[in-house]
Structure 1
Amino acid sequence: MKQPSVAGHPPAPVIRRLGLVEFQPTCAAMRQFTTSRRHDTPDELWVLQHPPLYSAGLATRQRHLPRDSSIPLERTDRGGQITYHGPGQVVIYALLDLARRDLKIRALVSLLEQAVIDTLAQYRVSAQRKSGAPGIYVNGAKIAALGLRVRTGGCYHGVALNVDMDLAPFLAIDPCGYPGLAVTQTRDLGIVANVDELGDRLAANLTQHLARHERNH
């Protein structure tokens, strides 16, 4: 069901909770959604987890790839470099009509980052951006990675927040192209909320930031 728009603004995104889903079929579904959408197609946020895999974005260099790993490596069309996905990490894919929302890609990156910062702040964890290194950090360790793709005026891919997962696979790569980059997760910061709760909070915060952006434009 389409949600009503308010004062000419686009409606809030439809939130779809997909559970644990395979990576490549999900990427194909995002591309299909984006290329077939019309001017009145509602935006969507897909909240999900992936089985263990490395995701290599368009900027990935050979030296950043996994070292002797049995974990699958998947090439993808998003921006950015290499990261790891696995159960216990909440992923939100943002399928948005950027023109309809008067939203530039840099502004969307900022909204995604702020949604993560606000989500962690709700659990009394202070998180920060890092200049020149997209994503969110806590005490210098990366807790959330971002990557987006724009096609025919719509964007897809999004943000991944480490919640309660096996972090060891990050040791086999240079996360996001940074050798030796430390990573962390909400469980290790004393947050007991599970993936579902954090996914709901993150989606709600992102929705609020999108609405605030539209009110100001």
Structure 2
Amino acid sequence: MHPVECLAVWLGRLPFSEALELQMRICGLKKQGEGPDVLLLVEHPPTITLGRNGGREHLLVDEETLGRRGIEMHHVDRGGAITYHGPGQLVGYPLLMLGKGERNVRGYMRNLEQSLIDLVAAYGVAAGREEGYTGVWTPGGKVAAMGVHISRWVTRHGFALNINTDLTYYDLIVPCGIIGKSVTSLCALLGRPLDLEEVADRYLPCFGAVFGRTMTAVDRGFLESIFGGSPGVQSEM
């Protein structure tokens, strides 16, 4: 079976609501059988999201405090509870039409975890899974959170991998509603900051290998030319 093409787009820093609108538009067309698979990679301004499992009780400050600190809050239809997105964090949104052999939600989540385990291993960090929980874990704490939405076997939402993230923002919440578990970042584990776009580039072969996709890096303009918008450029990875 030939690998499926997947367009990978680095969007830079983008408001959460704008990235969500883009996801919805692409997934709406994919449910109609239009367009290739897409991997959106993005960095968000400070944002707290609440998933289908709620987690409002795990917000440790009031909304006025969030507003004063310039932190947005959104209720979304992904799995999971409360989490944080912000500068220095690589957020990935795979928008895939799962093939017949891929239509297993647990298997999809495991593959997403594995792609991130492989990525952090490329930086010399040993990571794995924690029994009973989703995400990617290291001896120093959880380095990546995950929450997805799958409808008609089209995937949406995805993961948040802490690279240079300011971890003090996690003091505002109980991350993912898990009490007694710490969070960490690649910067904290390695003792040095990393270039976020470079990490995004290194993720593409990890994702492609696990999911059996041929990754093609494109700009947002090229993506919009397929799913509605203006022309852009592409390059094989």
TM-score scaled by length of structure 2: 0.81
Instruction: Indicate if the aligned counterparts of 2:13 and 2:44 stay in contact, CA closer than 8 A.
Output: yes
Partner of 2:56 in structure 1? Answer: 62
Matches within 5 A, 1:1-217: 7=1, 9=2, 11-37=4-30, 38-39=32-33, 41-68=35-62, 69-70=65-66, 71-99=71-99, 102-139=102-139, 141-190=141-190, 192-211=193-212
Partner of 1:4 in structure 2? Answer: none
Per-residue deviation, residues 82-114 of structure 1 (Å, max 9, x unmatched): 110001000110000013563322111111111
Structure 2: distance between partners of 1:204 and 1:131: 27
> Cα offset for 1:180?
3.7
The residue identity in structure 1 corresponding to 2:207 is L
RMSD: 1.8
Please list every run of 5 or more consecutive structure 1 residues that lacks an aligned counterpart in the other structure: 1-6, 213-217
Query: Are residues 197 and 21 of structure 1, via their aligned partners in 2, closer, same or farther at CA, if it must alter by over 3 Å?
Result: same
Structure 2: distance between partners of 1:27 and 1:136: 23
Query: Are residues 29 and 40 of structure 1, via their aligned partners in 2, closer, same or farther at CA, if it must alter by over 3 Å?
Result: closer
The residue identity in structure 2 corresponding to 1:85 is H
SS, match of residue 144 in structure 1: strand
Partner of 2:224 in structure 1? Answer: none
Instruction: Indicate if the aligned counterparts of 1:12 and 1:207 stay in contact, CA closer than 8 A.
Output: no
The residue identity in structure 1 corresponding to 2:198 is E
TM-score scaled by length of structure 1: 0.88
Structure 2: distance between partners of 1:101 and 1:20: 34
The count of residues paired between Structure 1 and Structure 2 equals 205
Structure 2: distance between partners of 1:66 and 1:11: 43
Please list every run of 5 or more consecutive structure 2 residues that lacks an aligned counterpart in the other structure: 214-237
> Cα offset for 1:147?
0.7
Structure 2: distance between partners of 1:99 and 1:118: 23
Q: Which has the higher helix share?
A: 2
Query: Are residues 139 and 186 of structure 1, via their aligned partners in 2, closer, same or farther at CA, if it must alter by over 3 Å?
Result: same
Structure 2: distance between partners of 1:102 and 1:120: 24
Per-residue deviation, residues 9-46 of structure 1 (Å, max 9, x unmatched): 45231001111111112112212211222335200000
SS, match of residue 97 in structure 1: coil
> Cα offset for 1:204?
2.0
More displaced 10-residue stretch of structure 1: 114-123 or 62-71: 62-71
